[in-house]
Amino acid sequence: MKKLLFVNACIRGEDSRTWRIAAPLIEKLRETYEVQTIDVNALQWQAVRAEEFQARGQGNFQEHVLEYARMMEQTDRLVIAAPFWDMSFPSALKVFFEQISLDGYTFDNGSSTCTGRCRCEKVLYITTRGMNIPTGDIREQAVPYLRALSTLWGLGEVQCVACENMDYISDDEREEKIRKAIAEGMEICREF
C-alpha cells in the first residue's frame, strides 16, 4: 500500500475549523493509503540555531529530525492541514519544514542548483482563513511557499482546499463553507 504523510498544524485540535475539513478527507484517503500523521505542534521544535547549522554542514543530523526527513522523502502523497496565520501558516509548520530540509534526504545540493529527493507526486493543502483573502492573493503566502518547497524537495503538484472569510459570517454560513470545502476535498481525494 502506498504511503500518505499527514502533517497536522491545527493548533486548536478538533476545535479547529481546518481540522473539521481535514478529518473526513484523511479518513477517505485511509481507504487508499497507509497514513502516517505528524502533529507539528506536539513536536515543539525550535528554529535551526547556529550550532545545529554548523553540525549540518559537517553532515551531522539529529536522529529525530532524520526520522521525519526520511518519512517525507519516502511518502507517496502529502496532506497538510494548517490555519491561516500571519499571512501563511503557524510557525510550528515552518519550523518543521526548516528542520527536515536536509541535503541528502529531502533534496540534493548540486553545484548550482538543488534537486528534490522526495518521491511524493501530489500535495493537498487544507486551510481556513478568517479574513476574505483568497488563494493567490498577495497577502496569502502559504501556497506560494508550498509550491516553492515542492520544487526544492520534488513533491509534485500542490492543490489547495481553502475557506475564507470565516470570522465575519454567521454560524450557518460558516457550516455551509465547511461542508462545501469537504465536498471539494472529497472530489480531489478521488484522483489523489
Q: Each residue of 3-19: pLDDT tens digit?
A: 999 999 999 999 999 99
- Residue type at 187 in one-letter notation: E
Nearest to 123 by CA among 6, 23, 18: 6
pTM of the predicted model as reported, rounded to 2 decimal places? 0.97
Nearest to 4 by CA among 37, 27, 48, 40: 37
Whole-number pLDDT of residue 35: 99
**115 C-beta neighbours (distance < 10 Å), count:** 12
CA 139 to chain centre: 18
Mean of pLDDT values over 132-144? 98
Mean of pLDDT values over 132-150? 98
Report the mean per-residue pLDDT for the chain: 97
Residue 44 has pLDDT above 90, yes or no: yes
47 phi-psi bin (left φ>0, alpha ψ -120 to 50, beta other): beta
Whole-number pLDDT of residue 20: 98
Going through 19-151 in order, the beta strands assigned E by DSSP cover 34-39, 77-81, 107-109, 114-116, 122-128
Whole-number pLDDT of residue 112: 87
Q: Where does the pLDDT of residue 186 fall: very low under 50, low under 70, confident under 90, or very high at 90 and above? A: very high
**pLDDT digits 0-9 by tens, 65-117:** 999 999 999 999 999 999 999 999 999 999 999 999 999 999 999 878 899 99
Domains of the chain: 3-191 (3.40.50.360)
Mean of pLDDT values over 184-192? 98
> Percent of the chain, pLDDT > 90?
95
Residue with cell 493509503: 33
Counting Cβ atoms within 10 Å, is residue 77 exposed (0-12), middle (13-18) or buried (19+)?
A: buried
